[in-house]
Amino acid sequence: MPEILSSLFSSNPYFSAGIGVLGFGAGLAALRQGLVRGSYLARRKLLVSLEIPSKDKSYQWFLHWMSKQLSNNSHSHTHQYAVQTSFKQHDNGSISTTFSLIPGPGKHYFKWRGVWLQVERQRDAKLLDITSGSPWEIVTLTTLSRDKYIFSELLQESKKLALEQQEGKTVIYTSWGPEWRPFGLPRKRRLLDSVILDKGIKERIIKDVKEFINNGIWYNERGIPYRRGYLLYGPPGSGKSSFIQALAGELEYNICILNLSERGLTDDRLNHLLSNAPERSIMLLEDIDATFTQKRQPTDQQGYHSMVTFSGLLNALDGVASSEERIIFMTTNHVELLDKALVRPGRIDVKELFDNASDHQIKTMFLRFYEGENQLAEEFVQSVKGKKVSMAQLQGHFVFYKNDPKCAVRYSNSFIQDA
C-alpha cells in the first residue's frame, strides 16, 4: 500500500490536490463546529435569559415599562414599534383617543442601571391561543450572568409602575379568552355626587353594598354563600352604568364587564371567569335581557346570541362551583322580559328601578349646570312636567346650552319633542 499511495501522489497531481482540498475542508468544518460549540458553551457560562410568556400577568406590565424606557433612555436601540390605541367615549358624547408606542416583534437593546439588556419579542403566527385566537408571544430578556439580579429589580419596577397608574383610578376589565385584561387606560374615579338619582336610591344601594363587604365573617359563621346580586332596571339613559362606575370609585373597586353574547363564550368559560375575577372588583352583566328572556322555550337551551346556556348561567351565579366573595350587578331595560328563575333571591338580592327623570332629578341637574338659577330651574321643571325625559337627554340638552340657562328653558319644547 505505501508504494501504491506514493505512486499515486507522485504520478497524479490532481489526486494529491483533491486530497489536500478534502483535508482543508474537513479542517474548516471541524474548526467551525468547534467555534459553534465554544460559542454555545460561552453563552451558557456568560449569559442568562428570562422568558415572559404572553399569558403571564407581568407580560403587559413589562411591555408598558419597556415603552417608557425606550422613549426616555438615550442608550436604547430599536427600530421596531407597535401601536397600542386607547379609545374612550365620554358621558357628554365626546371621544378621546391616545396612542402609545410599545416594542414590536424583534430584538431591542437598552441600558438600565448600568446593565445592558437584549430584549427579543417573538410572535408565532402559526401557534395560537385556542381560547382567545391571538398569536402566542414570548418576550426573552438576556444579559450577563453576573447581572441576573437585574431581572427581579426590573419586574418589581414594572409592577410598581403599573400599580401607580391605577392608583386613584378605576380599571375596567374585559374578558380575553379565559382571563381578564384591562380595557384601555385606568379611568379617573367618578364621584358619587356626579350621578343624580331619585331620592333614596343611591343611599340604599351604597348602604347595602358596604354592609355586605364588611360582614364576611357573619356569612361564613352561618354557612351562607358570601355573594350579593343587584339588578338595576329602567329605561335607557337613566344612569344605571354611570352609577355602577361611581359606586366602584366610592368603594375603590374595579369593574369587570362580561358580555354574555360574546362569541365563543361557553358555560365552562363563564364559570371560570366569574370564579377568577380580579380582587376588589364589581362584576357587571349589562343588558341581561338581550341574552335571555321569558320567550325562551323549555327545550331551547341556548340564548339568542350566545353559546352560554340558561342553566349554565344560573349554575355560574349560585351553583355548587360558583365563586364566593362576589358582587354582581346586572342591568336591563326590560325587566318584564327576564325569567323568574334568574331574578329570584339568592341570584338577585336587591332590585332598584332607575326610572325617567323625576322633578327632583331635573331640578338638581339644572342647578348643577347653572348654579344659583333657582327660579329658572323651577320654570324648566314645569316646562317638562309629565313628560318622559331621561337623564341622558337632559344632560345633552344642558351641554348644548351650557352658557345660556334662559335658552335651555326657552327651547325645552323642542327638547321634549325629541324625548
Identify the pLDDT of residue 293.
53
The tens digit of pLDDT for each residue in 172-194 reads: 998 887 788 888 778 888 899 98
Is pLDDT above 90 for 195?
A: yes
pLDDT-based confidence at 299, cuts 50/70/90? very low
Q: At 123, is the secondary structure helix, strand, or coil?
A: strand
**Does position 239 have pLDDT exceeding 80, yes or no?**
yes
Span 316-356, pLDDT tens digits: 888 655 567 789 999 999 999 898 889 888 889 999 999 99
Contact 319, 275 (CB under 8 A): no
Contact indicator for 286, 241 with CB cutoff of 8 Å: yes
Maximum average pLDDT range among 16-25, 213-222, 316-325: 213-222
Q: What is the mean pLDDT of residues 238-245?
A: 93
Please count the other Cβ atoms lying within 10 Å of the Cβ belonging to residue 271.
20
**What stretches of 234-317 adopt beta strand conformation (E)?**
254-257, 281-285
CA–CA separation, 248 and 73 (whole Å): 37
**Residues sharing a CB contact under 8 Å with residue 295, sequence separation 6 or more, in sequence order:** 337
Which H/E stretch holds residue 50?
strand 47-53
Query: Does 12 have pLDDT greater than 60?
Result: no
Average pLDDT for 379-396: 90
Cα distance between residue 184 and residue 206, in whole Å = 27
pLDDT recorded at residue 265: 84
294 pLDDT band (50/70/90 cuts)? very low
pLDDT of residue 296: 45
Specify the CATH class of 187-353 in words: alpha beta
Q: How far apart are CA 177 and CA 113, in angstroms?
A: 37
Position with higher pLDDT, 399 vs 13: 399
**pLDDT at residue 106 in the model:** 82
Mean pLDDT, the chain, whole residue set: 79
Q: Is the pLDDT of residue 1 over 70?
A: no
| Sequence letter at residue 115 | V
Residue 23 binned pLDDT confidence (cut-offs 50, 70, 90): low
Helix (H) or strand (E) holding 31: helix 13-46
Per-residue pLDDT at 89 exceeds 70:
no
Query: Of 6-20, 199-213, 230-244, where does mean pLDDT reach its minimum?
Result: 6-20
Give the per-residue pLDDT at 300.
Answer: 43
**Strand ranges inside 169-272, DSSP E:** 169-170, 172-176, 179-182, 187-188, 227-233, 254-257
C-alpha cell at 99: 396612542
Residues 6 or more apart whose CB falls under 8 angstroms from that of 81 comprise 101, 102, 103, 104
Break the chain into its structural domains and give their ranges.
48-167, 187-353, 359-418
| Residue 395 confidence (pLDDT) above 70 | yes
Which of 160-174, 199-213, 215-229 has the highest average model confidence (pLDDT)?
Answer: 199-213
**Nearest CA to 54 among 118, 131, 111, 114?**
131
Share of residues in the chain with pLDDT > 90 (%): 27
Helix, strand, coil shares of the chain, percent, nearest 5, are 45, 25, 35
Distance CA 284, CA 268 (A): 18
**In this model, does residue 224 exceed pLDDT 70?**
yes
Coil/strand/helix, residue 73: coil
Query: Does the pLDDT value for residue 92 go beyond 50?
Result: no
Rounded Cα distance between 412 and 360, Å, is: 17
The DSSP-derived string for 324-391 is SSEEEEEEES-GGGS-TTTSSTTT--EEEE--SPPHHHHHHHHHHHSTT-HHHHHHHHHHTTTS---H
44-72: average pLDDT: 80
Which of 1-15, 250-264, 284-298 shows the highest mean pLDDT?
250-264
Sorted by sequence, the CB contacts under 8 Å of residue 31 that are 6+ apart come out as none
pLDDT of residue 91 exceeding 60:
no
Greater pLDDT, 18 or 416: 416
254-257 and 172-176: which strand pairing?
A: parallel
* DSSP summary character for residue 134: P
Q: What is the pLDDT of residue 78?
A: 61
Query: Which tens digits make up the pLDDT trace of 104-150?
Result: 788 888 888 888 888 888 877 655 555 445 567 888 999 988 888 88
Residue 266 has pLDDT above 50, yes or no: yes
